[in-house]
Chains A and B, each alone.
Chain A
Amino acid sequence: MQYLSRLPLVLPPTVLGFYLLVLMGPNGALGRLTAELGLGTLPFTFAGLVVASVLYSLPFVVQPLQATFTSIGEQPLEAAATLRASPLDIFFSVVVPMAKPGFLTAFILGFTHTVGEFGVVLMVGGNIPDKTRVVSMQIYNHVEALEYGEAHQLAGILLLFSFTVLLLLYTVLKTYPIVHQAFK
């Protein structure tokens, strides 16, 4: 399961997109299931894009979460148990607050990774205007049409966005004593 969730890290996005396209298509297992359920098929729809992006960005979310949970270790959980906290109570009162930096990192990495996605989106979404066309694809279209000015604009916005997010991430992370201690 752990290796499976990391597969998108090394798999070429187009390959993942291709398999998803086949799987979710009218003859694929997932496609048949969604059709049976009366949801139609997912390729070339926004819903299909969401499903594909979740899978594609999964490792970027799972990895930081797993790292945080591991770094918390058994000790605080044991301390909490000796202080009368039940297992569920421990999860919400110790694990979640201590894992906050991990949740934040996971959220931001997952989000930015999805924004910049191209291969999978092209395969599954098909670059349909107003339906499945995303920013990165719009840039590609502009370049194809030799509209460098527009491409510059969009690329600049994405660059600024990515940098701001990174800056925010590290500023916020620094305020957490646990992380602060770990990275000192």
Chain B
Amino acid sequence: MSTRRSNNTSLPISPSFQVQFELDYGAFQLAVDLSLPGTGVTVLFGHSGSGKTTLLRCIAGLYRAPKGYLEINGNVWQDSEKGLFVPTYKRALGYVFQEANLFPHLTVTGNLQYGLKRIDKPSNSSVEQILELLGIGHLLDRLPHNLSGGERQRVAIARALALNPEVLLMDEPLASLDFKRKQEILPFLGRLHRDLNIPVLYVTHSQQEVAQLADYLVILADGRVLSSGSLSDTLSRLDVPLAQEKEAATVWDVTVAEHEVDYHLTSVAFAGGTLSLPTINAEIGTSLRVLIYARDVSIVLEKPITTSILNVLTATITGIVDDQCGRSVVQLKVDKQLLLAHITSKSAQLLELNIGMTVYVQIKGTSILH
């Protein structure tokens, strides 16, 4: 994200995570060897049983993988060859569980203080910033059972963040909440993303959360890594099942360029041009994330002069996959931005689409994520 401050340059080692684990539970095996960026939000995505939570628990030290090497921004937390295993309570991490997991016998303040009392140098200013960020300042005297599910989860996030951890681990923090509560928390997560300089490892099986939060995406299946890379690269990879799904989409990071008040439109700029979107309530220069569903993208060979669709862009075809069920997934490049289009196999044949061809894409609709 262009908005994130990257002031980690003072570190002697460039921030990164080395994550290698092997464990065997008989019915389930995990074998992972990842090198992840030490900044931004890395999402571990997969269906249930893919091993994403197991991997996160190994990173936290809640599980001890018999074979493993784990290095977080220069700190080695596990090196099974040397017999090194730092117990969870000695790891400078924050962990947010699927259920908020607050201490029921302590008030919100008590829960927030619990970790603070146990670290060397608590900084009060950041706690106040966190309370404000998560909007829980008015709940401090309450006991957890007097909070709503969404409030509880926000307190849990604050409790983890208050320790100013080296890394924040989040295990499907929204999964146990209903749609309304999710919508209540997502903006907070978006703000976390922008305002705090703490790297996040975020486990989810929700594509919406991936699109909204991820900078870097790891796709897991059956305890193995299917794909690992930046969000836009991974989302548009044709060899990963995501691109084939009905909800397949690409995500573009854009900035607000101009408001066309008369037409109730806003133009946003990306690396290779501009898009016209329904009015966005944001100042010029604001960074946004735009989601473009593959099903909303159509392809024409000649530049359409008379079309009702505003967003027509020049693109180069970089890949085509036929799903053998009448649908083709086309990967395109608009300048440097990757884009996916779902079209019928018949259209792909009639238009004689080939890799390397220059075509025009019409984008019927977009969603603004934040």
Binding site for B on A (CB under 8 A): 75-76, 78-87, 89, 93-94, 97-98, 100, 176-178, 180-181
The reply to whether A84 and B163 contact each other, CB–CB distance below 8 Å, is yes
CB distance from B166 to the nearest CB of A (A): 13
What is the minimal beta-carbon distance from B258 to any residue of chain A, in angstroms? 46
CB contact between A82 and one of B60, B103, B145 (< 8 Å): that residue? B60
Q: Report the nearest A residue to B95, measured CB to CB.
A: A82
Residues of B25-63 whose CB lies within 8 A of A? 60-62
Given contacts A84-B89, A178-B104, A181-B145, A78 and B118 within 8 Å (CB-CB): no
Q: Is there an interface contact between B97 and A98, defined as CB atoms closer than 8 Å?
A: no
Quick one: closest A residue to B101, CB to CB?
A: A79
Residue of A nearest to B106 (CB): A97
**Is the CB of B305 closer than 8 A to any CB of chain A?**
no
Residue among B60, B87, B89, B94 with most chain A CB within 10 A: B89
A76 with B101: CB separation less than 8 A: yes
Q: Which residues from B are CB-within-8-Å of A178? A: 104-105
Point out the residues of chain A lying under 8 angstroms from B61, CB to CB.
81
A70 CB to closest chain B CB (Å) equals 16
4 residue pairs, one from A and one from B, having the closest CB atoms: A83-B115, A82-B95, A84-B118, A81-B88
Q: How far is the CA of A89 from the CA of B90 in the complex (A)?
A: 13
Instruction: Say yes or no: A78 contacts B101, CB within 8 Å.
Output: yes
Q: Which residues of B contact A180 (CB under 8 A)?
A: 145
Structural contact, B105 and A98, CB atoms closer than 8 A: yes
Residues in chain B near residue A177, CB distance under 8 A: 104-105, 143-145
How far apart are the CA atoms of A50 and B138 in the complex, in Å?
Answer: 53
Min C-beta distance of A172 to chain B, whole Å: 14
11 A-B pairs besides A83-B89, A86-B87 with CB distance below 8 A are: A76-B101, A78-B95, A79-B101, A84-B90, A84-B119, A85-B89, A89-B118, A93-B114, A176-B105, A177-B145, A181-B145
The reply to whether the CB of B193 lies closer than 8 angstroms to some CB of chain A is: no
Asked if B259 lies at the interface with its beta carbon under 8 angstroms from chain A, I say no
> Could you pull out 23 A-B pairs where Cβ atoms are within 8 angstroms?
A75-B99, A75-B101, A79-B102, A79-B103, A82-B88, A82-B94, A83-B114, A83-B159, A83-B160, A84-B89, A84-B163, A86-B87, A87-B89, A89-B118, A93-B114, A94-B103, A97-B105, A98-B104, A98-B105, A100-B105, A177-B104, A177-B144, A181-B104
Size band of the B side of the interface?
Answer: 20 to 34
The residues of A that contact B104 with a CB separation of less than 8 Å are 76, 98, 177-178, 181
CB distance from B136 to the nearest CB of A (A): 17
- Tell whether, in the assembled complex, residue B89 and residue A86 are in contact, meaning their CB atoms are under 8 Å apart: yes
Q: Are A82 and B93 in contact (CB under 8 A)?
A: yes
Binding site for A on B (CB under 8 A): 60-62, 87-90, 93-95, 97, 99, 101-105, 114-115, 118-119, 143-145, 159-160, 163
Q: Could you tell me the distance in whole angstroms from the C-beta of A37 to the nearest C-beta in chain B? A: 42
User: Which residue of chain A lies nearest to B100 when distances are taken between CB atoms in the complex?
Assistant: A79
Residues of chain B contacted by A89 (CB below 8 angstroms)? 89, 118
**Identity of the chain B residue whose Cβ is nearest the Cβ of A99 in the assembled complex:** B105
Contacts of B163 in A (CB 8 A): 83-84
Q: How far is the CB of A164 from chain B (nearest CB, A)?
A: 26
Instruction: Give Cα distance in the complex from A84 to B160, angstroms.
Output: 11
If A180-B145, A181-B145 touch, whether A83 touches B101 (CB-CB below 8 Å) is: no
Given contacts A177-B145, A181-B145, contact A81 B105 (CB under 8 A): no
Query: A84 contacts which chain B residues (CB < 8 A)?
Result: 89-90, 115, 118-119, 163
Given contacts A83-B159, A98-B104, contact A78 B62 (CB under 8 A): yes
CB distance from B328 to the nearest CB of A (A): 46
- List the A residue with the shortest CB-CB distance to B94: A82
B237 CB, nearest partner CB in chain A, Å: 33
- In the complex with contacts A83-B159, A89-B118, A177-B143, A76-B103 CB distance below 8 A: yes
